[in-house]
Amino acid sequence: MHRGYIKIWRKTLDNPIMNKPKMSHLWVHLLLAANHRDRDELFGGKRITCRPGQFTTGRDQLAKKTGLHRSSIERLLQLLEIEQQIEQQKSNQNRLITIINWERYQNTEQQVEHQPSNDRATIEQRPSTLKECKNRRIEELKNKPPTPLNQEPAIPDDLILNKPELLDWWNYKKQRGEAYKPAGWAALLRKVRGFGPGTIKESIENCMANNWAGLFEKNGGSNGVKRNSGIGIKAVGEIEREGSKFAGVIRTITVGSGGGEEKG
């Protein structure tokens, strides 16, 4: 049965998270599952009309279709939402997934041209309908009021010490043409709260310096070097050399947070 096709752009590889096999597998499945024209589906027990680039599904359903674990599905969907690849709306029964910029990267009108010849009568009427839907969607976007994040976003009190870095990241994404929507910004704040102490600033600077699209934690603390508590290896060696000058034999050196202890 002929069901059309999707386009996968090479620029997808510019995003480092897409180089992960599980992520790329799930992303391709989402593109294939998305509707290419209006379709009525059930969401939260109610009938809705899914637009092109939207579809309803569930975590268990995605796990069954892709072979990925349920916990992996949830984590990967959150990453895609942070990277502004998708938007999610959840209910107690299923979820509605929207592929962001669907119409920008998927030219649905070309798909119609490759339908089987026995559907020719339907095809001849469909391009105008698709064009009308596209024009209507463009008008809706033009009339849509600006989102709050067209202005400088608010920084919560628990992250106020990192306000300069977070605003730098917000402006960096805006300059890349990937400005945050409210849901994406909220998801980013949840992500950075999980970073280690003192790593938010260096993580942001590192990602911007490498021109990365996503924000990833830089390991290693504030200076990238782990500090050892107590006496270091050099101190132990000095104790051993000093001990060799005496007749006693050093049997055990115990290194703790307060220093070394000799027994002999």
Do the beta carbons of residue 9 and residue 208 sit within 8 Å?
no
> What digits encode the pLDDT tens for the residues 36-88?
899 999 998 999 999 999 999 999 999 999 999 999 999 999 999 998 889 99
pLDDT at 241 over 70: no
> What digits encode the pLDDT tens for the residues 149-198?
567 888 999 999 999 999 999 999 989 888 888 888 999 999 999 998 78
Beta bridge partner(s), residue 252: 263
pLDDT at 225 over 90: no
81-90, 120-129, 202-211, 237-246, range with the lowest pLDDT: 237-246
pLDDT at 149: 57
For the full predicted model, state whether its pTM sits above 0.95.
Answer: no
Which one has a higher pLDDT value, 240 or 225? 240
Q: Six-digit token pair at 106?
A: 């998927």
Backbone angles phi, psi at 73, to 5 degrees: -60, -50
pLDDT at 87: 94
pLDDT at 218: 83
pLDDT at 208 over 90: yes
- Reported residue count of the chain is 264
102-111, 194-203, 247-256, range with the lowest pLDDT: 247-256
Separation CA 63–CA 40 (nearest Å): 23
> What digits encode the pLDDT tens for the residues 106-146?
865 544 444 444 454 444 444 456 777 777 878 777 666 55
pLDDT at 227: 36
pLDDT at 83: 86
Kind plus residue range of the DSSP H or E element containing 29: helix 21-33
- Classify 57 as helix, strand or coil: strand
pLDDT at 15: 79
> What digits encode the pLDDT tens for the residues 227-237?
333 333 333 34
Whose CA is closest to 188, among 217, 221, 219, 152?
217
pLDDT confidence band for 7 (50 / 70 / 90) = confident
pLDDT at 146: 52
